[in-house]
Amino acid sequence: PVEMKYLAVIESHLKSGKVSSDGAVGPWQFIPATARNYGLYVGRNRDERTDYYKSTHAAARMLTDLFAEFGDWLLVVAAYNGGSGNVYKAIRKSGGSKDFWVLQHYLPNESMNHVKKFIATHYIFEGEGGITTLTKEETKQLVSNAVKINEEEMKKSEAYNISGRFHSSV
């Protein structure tokens, strides 16, 4: 979702030259190993982590991979910040819950707060929440409340798998 752009706002304030204490660089704050895993060149004379275009495409691929892994945008934000391992550990410690609001206290404080900063930034820029500020369960409830069809309509319905580009509101 386009709202994931707010991650770069909280990661670096959109500054391409931003360098963190742990060596993360650029608007999306990639550490060298992750940057290389997503096809960015990190060298002495050139560092593609500072390239807005290339690093944004790398971040989009990473976010897509994390969503395929967790199926929940709030967990994606937590994993983007603290790594998938910390999210899996929090899931285990919470008794298997994949609801951010249940497992948040088992995450490192920085990751827990990162998710809350993301939600706050989304509200500041958009004036309201969206698909990226809801848990997977909240999203299901939103969709089920939005689409009310009776049993007869359900029998006449067909399901299609959609791939490629499409507008999410459609």
- Tell me how far apart the alpha carbons of residues 33 and 28 are, in angstroms, rounded to a whole number: 14
- Tell me how far apart the alpha carbons of residues 102 and 13 are, in angstroms, rounded to a whole number: 29
11 in active site: yes
**Residues 6+ away with beta carbon under 8 Å from 93:** 103, 106
Count other C-beta atoms under 10 Å from residue 124's C-beta: 10
Which of these is catalytic: 11, 69, 151, 152?
Answer: 11
- Tell me how far apart the alpha carbons of residues 103 and 98 are, in angstroms, rounded to a whole number: 7
- Tell me how far apart the alpha carbons of residues 70 and 76 are, in angstroms, rounded to a whole number: 7
Active site residues: 11
